[in-house]
């Protein structure tokens, strides 16, 4: 594979907290009802949704009903790859827009479906456990699990390290870096 | 090619580069630029995915960087400033009291100085280190390097594979690991970039034997940088308008004045005492109108005047010549007065302590006049 295709164009980092861990096995924080409790939520949507539109190439229109009222929503989807103990795996993942009850949150939906729970890494120094989603220049999406200690101390590309450090300094839940448009969240 | 790329080439060829130039010629900015390129933090860095690797986005060797710098997967910059209290142990290793919390009184520890740390980093596989030393002539430079002074030479280093060569120069060093005295040599991929200003009054000339081990890179005041910054084109000498009608008129007058001042400083005190173009570019400001320009250059003039006063301290006639105060030029607020102290002849410069915006253009026109 040439370096021009494996060049990283976009990167999303997400801090996996205890409540998020349960989403990977379809257990709500409070109930077993599922729903939003099974999605990874990215906020603010005003920042993340434009990025996800660049990362997930397929757009479909679906109906969402609440309180007997149906409405059309745009769902983004794309094939995401990852490594597990059995080798390379992939699945079609979807990004759903915010709901009335959770405004301004885009969702990486139904994360429990992919058997990722066992891949979550615990930080050896008590730091953040991190979900990492990257997009290569050829459009391929890959997800990884890493830790705060790894991003700060291991041999990551200097741009990625700097981006991670800025994110840790800010303290927000999730972050992205678009190396094509030069956009970054949180803003620095 | 930019100065930063030229320096990287020089570092690759000679390993040690000494950047010198008058104040305000952009040394600090250049150091930062080289550091950024070396670590590929600038646009040259292209993060690349290595699928399945323990670190899936490791540093990418930057092919635009020269030689071993570019082929090293791991690059790190170490920065320090030399000062009068700098010691050998701050650079290499040495014994010092251990005052860290929880350490019993009377305990000593062995320091790992910045040159030692940079060297150890560069000794790791596929790694290169750049040590940046600013103000290298502001401290006891030769003492700080000690026995390492010969070992830093490019042909006295270890081979790229870490093995000794017939020319490798070893020196004694206290090993921070066990406190034993060991023979130590520097790795091939250790690069040292130092910067100095030869004209500061608080510095001393560097030892010639020390200087010989560095590739020089000299910076000069450049009118062209100022014209590009302020967006003005050169006006023939002596054709400045009698009064300014735009910010460009003031900028061009300031540039011509600085150029003429530097010519006179070089004659009277030496080229190393000239003042760099950066003095007129404070805060990277670019005046948008006439009033802003007059205010901006009136402020900048204070720094120029202080520099002249410092460079010609005790030499009133020298200051007067640089300020064109001996020529009775119209519009020049400075004038040389011949007087006496008892029977002894004396000279003094009359003029305002500071120049305000309404005076600055006439001053620059007067300063820009060159003796024929």
Q: What is the CATH number of the domain that holds A23?
A: 2.40.330
Residue of A nearest to B60 (CA): A157
C-alpha distances out from residue B95 to B108, B109, B111, B174, B312, Å: 7, 6, 6, 8, 43
Cα dihedral: A35, A38, A42, A44 (round 10): 20
Chain A residues close to B77, C-beta within 8 Å: none
pLDDT tens per residue across span B162-199: 999 999 999 999 999 999 999 999 999 999 999 998 77
Q: Are residues B193 and B309 in the same domain?
A: no
Q: What pLDDT, on a 0 to 100 scale, did the predictor assign at position B43?
A: 41
Q: What pLDDT, on a 0 to 100 scale, did the predictor assign at position B201?
A: 54
- B45 with A157: Cβ contact below 8 A: yes
Domain finish residue from B218, B235, B259 = B218
Classify residue B183 as exposed, middle or buried by CB count within 10 Å of its CB (0-12, 13-18, 19+).
Answer: exposed
Q: CB of A136 within 8 Å of any CB in chain B?
A: yes
Chain A residues close to B60, C-beta within 8 Å: 3, 157
Per the structure, the count of domains in chain B is 2
Average of per-residue pLDDT values in chain B: 90
pLDDT tens per residue across span B68-126: 998 888 899 999 999 989 999 999 999 999 998 999 999 999 999 999 999 999 999 98
Instruction: Say if B238 falls within a structural domain.
Output: yes
Residue of B nearest to A155 (CA): B58
Q: Are residues B56 and B89 in the same domain?
A: yes
Q: B1 pLDDT exceeds 70? A: no
Q: How far apart are the C-alpha atoms of A38 and A26, rounded to whole Å? A: 5
Q: CB of B354 within 8 Å of any CB in chain A?
A: no
Q: Are residues B161 and B248 in the same domain?
A: no
Beta bridge partners of B340: B345
Q: Are residues B210 and B142 in the same domain?
A: yes
Per DSSP, the residues of A144-178 read EEEEHHHHHHS---HHHHHHHHHHHHHT-SEEEEE
Which of B83, B131, B60, B303 has the alpha carbon at shortest distance from A160? B60
For chain B, give the number of residues: 372
Residues 17-46 of B with CB under 8 A from A: 39-41, 45-46
Q: How far is A67 from chain B (nearest CA, A)?
A: 45
Instruction: Say if A186 falls within a structural domain.
Output: no
Domain residue limits at B202: 3-218
Instruction: Say if B372 falls within a structural domain.
Output: no
Residue of A nearest to B38 (CA): A158
Q: Are residues B192 and B233 in the same domain?
A: no
Give residue A92's Cα distance to chain centre: 14
Please, what is the angle between helix B247-268 and helix B357-367, to 10°? 50
Q: CB of A26 within 8 Å of any CB in chain B?
A: no
- A156 with B59: Cβ contact below 8 A: yes
Instruction: Say if A188 falls within a structural domain.
Output: no
- A134 with B56: Cβ contact below 8 A: yes
Q: What pLDDT, on a 0 to 100 scale, did the predictor assign at position B60?
A: 73
Instruction: Say if B286 falls within a structural domain.
Output: yes
- A156 with B55: Cβ contact below 8 A: yes
- A6 with B48: Cβ contact below 8 A: yes
Q: Are residues B293 and B159 in the same domain?
A: no
Q: What pLDDT, on a 0 to 100 scale, did the predictor assign at position B372?
A: 63
Per DSSP, the residues of B109-152 read EEEE-HHHHHHHHHTSTTEEEEEEEESGGGS-HHHHHTTHHHHT
**How confident is residue A102, by pLDDT bands cut at 50, 70 and 90?**
confident
Q: Answer yes or no: are the C-beta atoms of A161 and B76 closer than 8 Å.
A: no
Q: How far is B27 from chain A (nearest CA, A)?
A: 24
Q: Are residues B239 and B343 in the same domain?
A: yes
Q: Are residues B72 and B47 in the same domain?
A: yes
Chain A residues close to B49, C-beta within 8 Å: 6-8, 134, 136, 142
Q: How far apart are the C-alpha atoms of B147 and B264, rounded to whole Å? A: 42
Q: What pLDDT, on a 0 to 100 scale, did the predictor assign at position B284?
A: 62
Tokens of B122: 């560069």
Instruction: Say if A187 falls within a structural domain.
Output: no
Domain finish residue from B179, B202, B218 = B218
**ipTM score here?**
0.90
Instruction: Say if A19 falls within a structural domain.
Output: yes
Pairing of the two strands A106-108 and A40-42: antiparallel
Tokens of A185: 């969240």
Q: Are residues B119 and B254 in the same domain?
A: no
Q: What pLDDT, on a 0 to 100 scale, did the predictor assign at position B45?
A: 60
The CATH number linked to B180 is: 3.40.50.300
Which of B218, B361, B230, B354 has the alpha carbon at shortest distance from B288? B230
Half-sphere exposure of A88 (CA within 13 A, CB side): 9
pLDDT tens per residue across span B305-332: 999 999 999 999 999 999 999 999 989 9
Q: CB of B64 within 8 Å of any CB in chain A?
A: no
Q: End-to-end distance of chain A based on CA atoms, in angstroms?
A: 33
Task: Give percent of chain B with pLDDT exceeding 90.
Answer: 69
Task: Look up the pTM and report it.
Answer: 0.62
Beta bridge partners of B19: B195, B217
Instruction: Say if A143 falls within a structural domain.
Output: yes
Q: Are residues B345 and B287 in the same domain?
A: yes
Instruction: Say if A163 falls within a structural domain.
Output: yes
Domain residue limits at A57: 3-181
Long-range contacts of A142-147 (CB under 8 A, 24+ apart): A142/A80, A142/A81, A142/A82, A142/B49, A142/B51, A142/B56, A143/A80, A143/A81, A143/A82, A143/A116, A144/A82, A144/A83, A144/B56, A145/A16, A145/A116, A145/A119, A145/A120, A145/A121, A146/A121, A147/A121, A147/A122, A147/A123
Element counts in chain A: helices (H) and strands (E):
5, 10
Tokens of B150: 């010969």
For A141-147, what is the mean pLDDT?
A: 97
Domain finish residue from B196, B218, B240 = B218
Residue of B nearest to A154 (CA): B55
Q: How far apart are the C-alpha atoms of B195 and B33, rounded to whole Å? A: 13
Q: CB of B74 within 8 Å of any CB in chain A?
A: yes
Q: What pLDDT, on a 0 to 100 scale, did the predictor assign at position B208?
A: 83
Q: Measured on CA atoms in the order A50, A51, A54, A58, is the torsion positive or negative?
A: negative
Q: A150 pLDDT exceeds 50? A: yes
Q: How far apart are the C-alpha atoms of B308 and B80, rounded to whole Å? A: 29
Pairing of the two strands A58-66 and A69-84: antiparallel
Residues 6+ apart with CB under 8 A from A124: A147, A149
**How confident is residue A3, by pLDDT bands cut at 50, 70 and 90?**
low
Q: Answer yes or no: are the C-beta atoms of A146 and A170 closer than 8 Å.
A: no
Per the structure, the count of domains in chain A is 1
Q: How far is A63 from chain B (nearest CA, A)?
A: 36
**How confident is residue B250, by pLDDT bands cut at 50, 70 and 90?**
very high
- B41 with A3: Cβ contact below 8 A: no
């Amino acid at each position: 594979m040439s370096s021009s295709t494996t060049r990283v164009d976009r990167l999303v980092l997400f801090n996996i907290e205890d409540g998020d861990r349960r989403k990977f096995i379809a257990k709500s924080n409070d109930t077993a009802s599922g729903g939003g409790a099974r999605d990874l939520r990215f906020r603010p949507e005003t920042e993340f949704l434009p990025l996800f539109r660049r990362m997930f190439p397929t757009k479909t229109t679906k109906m969402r009903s609440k309180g007997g009222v149906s409405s059309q929503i745009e769902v983004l989807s794309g094939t995401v790859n990852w490594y597990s103990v059995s080798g390379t795996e992939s699945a079609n993942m979807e990004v759903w827009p915010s709901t009335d009850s959770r405004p301004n949150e885009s969702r990486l939906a139904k994360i429990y479906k992919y058997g990722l729970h066992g891949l979550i890494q615990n930080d050896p120094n008590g730091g953040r456990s991190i979900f990492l989603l990257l997009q290569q220049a050829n459009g391929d999406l890959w997800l990884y699990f890493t830790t705060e200690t790894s991003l700060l101390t291991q041999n990551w590309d200097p741009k990625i390290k700097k981006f991670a450090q800025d994110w840790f300094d800010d303290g927000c839940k999730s972050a992205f870096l678009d190396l094509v448009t030069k956009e970054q969240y949180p803003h620095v | 090619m930019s100065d930063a790329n030229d320096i990287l080439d020089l570092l690759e060829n000679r390993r040690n580069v000494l950047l010198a130039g008058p104040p305000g010629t952009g040394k600090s900015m250049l150091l930062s630029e080289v550091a950024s390129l070396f670590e590929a933090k600038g646009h040259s860095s292209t993060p690349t995915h290595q699928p399945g690797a323990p670190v899936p986005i490791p540093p990418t060797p930057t092919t635009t960087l020269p030689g071993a710098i570019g082929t090293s997967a791991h690059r790190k910059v170490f920065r320090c400033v030399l000062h009068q209290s700098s010691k050998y142990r701050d650079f290499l290793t040495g014994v010092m009291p251990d005052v860290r919390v929880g350490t019993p009184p009377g305990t000593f520890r062995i320091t790992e100085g910045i040159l030692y740390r940079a060297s150890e980093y560069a000794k790791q596989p596929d790694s290169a280190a750049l040590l940046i030393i600013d103000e290298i002539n502001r401290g006891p430079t030769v003492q700080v390097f000690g026995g390492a002074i010969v070992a830093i030479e490019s042909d006295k280093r270890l081979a790229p594979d870490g093995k000794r060569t017939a020319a490798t120069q070893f020196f004694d060093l206290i090993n921070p690991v066990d406190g034993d005295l060991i023979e130590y040599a520097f790795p091939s991929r250790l690069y040292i970039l130092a910067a100095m200003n030869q004209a500061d009054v608080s510095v001393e000339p560097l030892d010639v034997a020390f200087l010989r081990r560095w590739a020089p890179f000299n910076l000069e005041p450049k009118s062209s940088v100022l014209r590009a910054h302020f967006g003005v084109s050169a006006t023939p000498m002596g054709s400045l308008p009698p009064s300014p009608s735009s910010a460009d008129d003031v900028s061009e007058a300031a540039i011509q004045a600085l150029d003429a001042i530097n010519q006179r400083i070089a004659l009277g005190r030496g080229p190393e005492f000239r003042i760099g173009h950066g003095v007129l570019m404070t805060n990277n400001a670019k005046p948008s109108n006439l009033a802003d320009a007059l205010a901006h250059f009136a402020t900048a003039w204070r720094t120029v005047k202080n520099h002249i006063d410092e460079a010609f301290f005790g030499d009133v006639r020298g200051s007067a010549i640089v300020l064109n105060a001996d020529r009775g030029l119209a519009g020049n607020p400075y004038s040389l007065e011949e007087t006496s102290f008892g029977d002894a002849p004396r000279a003094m410069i009359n003029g305002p302590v500071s120049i305000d915006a309404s005076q600055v253009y006439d001053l620059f026109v007067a300063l820009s006049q060159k003796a024929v």
